[in-house]
A and B are shown apart, each in its own frame.
Chain A
Amino acid sequence: MQLFHFTGDSVKLLVMGALFNDARHGSLQTVEEKIARHAQDGSAPTREVVVQFNADVADGMPWKFVPTQREVRVKPGESALAFYTAENRSSTPITGVSTYNVTPMKAAVYFNKIQCFCFEEQRLLPGEQIDMPVFFYIDPEFETDPRMDGVNNLILSYTFFKVGEE
């Protein structure tokens, strides 16, 4: 997995935005297009999906890492915000990076992250506690996929790994 290092948060925002937009160019509608289209269509009642949150750290990673809320109830096509909280409990600065998965796996394709703390190294000073937001939505097409019948719960799990210690 390649990681990108940039100086300056505003540069990061611009470059990451460009990189990720390029990665999705042409093959998918943007999140804004999907949300707008769903808002126009959407007079039909939509079912509620419960998204639950899991957090883990790898062995040797001295952070406390937990979901800030145990669940969020969302409707497909609606953007939603959730948080994790991380705290570096060691006496040295630690850099970590996270991976995630979504279960059940067959539903993962419908879980879209608009923006999150993931995919980039994050450095916490000793004792530092930080909020880690995830801004996401469930693709509206989830509702019409017969394979998703009976799928009313998704679990989003993140695991943090240590990649550096000073």
Chain B
Amino acid sequence: MLAGGAFGGNRGLRPVPPEKGVFPLDHTHECDLEKKEYINCLKSSGYQSERCRGFSKLYLECRIQRNLMAKQDLSEFGFGKEYGMGAS
């Protein structure tokens, strides 16, 4: 199934770039632990994103601390203080 749509063909929507840009790859695996904890949470929570938001926040904070994501107040993405420790 090759994506005539994804290349801007007539039948599909044109691909839209991500709002905040591209994530650099974590080549040195600095946030592997945070990723694993998030995935494990999903597996044990019926894959409900809401139940694992604390772990998502920790992963994104890890990226921000290591310059793998632009520094931003994560509460702006709906990660309020109730989602765990760590400065936003």
Which residues on B are within 8 Å of A, measured CB to CB? Answer: 1-3, 5-8, 12-13, 15-27, 31-32, 35, 38-39, 42-43, 46-50, 56, 59-60, 67-70, 76-79
Partner of B49, one of A39, A74, A105, A116: A74
5 tightest A-B CB contacts, nearest first: A16-B21, A99-B6, A113-B18, A80-B49, A9-B24
Chain B facing A: main interface SS: loop
A80 neighbours in B (Cβ, 8 Å): 49, 56
Known: A75-B49, A113-B16, A135-B23. 12 other contacts (CB 8 A): A12-B22, A13-B70, A17-B70, A35-B76, A39-B78, A48-B48, A99-B3, A113-B18, A116-B18, A117-B25, A135-B20, A159-B2
A132 neighbours in B (Cβ, 8 Å): 23, 25
Q: How many inter-chain residue pairs (CB < 8 Å) link A and B?
A: 154
Please tell me if the beta carbons of B38 and A116 are within 8 angstroms of each other in the complex: no
For the complex, count residues of A whose C-beta is within 8 A of B. Answer: 60
Partner of A36, one of B46, B59, B76: B76
Chain A facing B: main interface SS: mixed
- From A19, A31, A109, residue with most partner B Cβ within 10 Å: A31
Nearest residue (CB) in B for A116 is B18
Please tell me if the beta carbons of B76 and A20 are within 8 angstroms of each other in the complex: no
- Complex CA distance for A99 and B1, rounded to whole angstroms: 12
A30 interfacial by beta-carbon distance below 8 Å: yes
Nearest residue (CB) in A for B43 is A69
Q: A73-B48, A81-B60 are in contact. Are A105 and B5 (CB under 8 A)?
A: yes
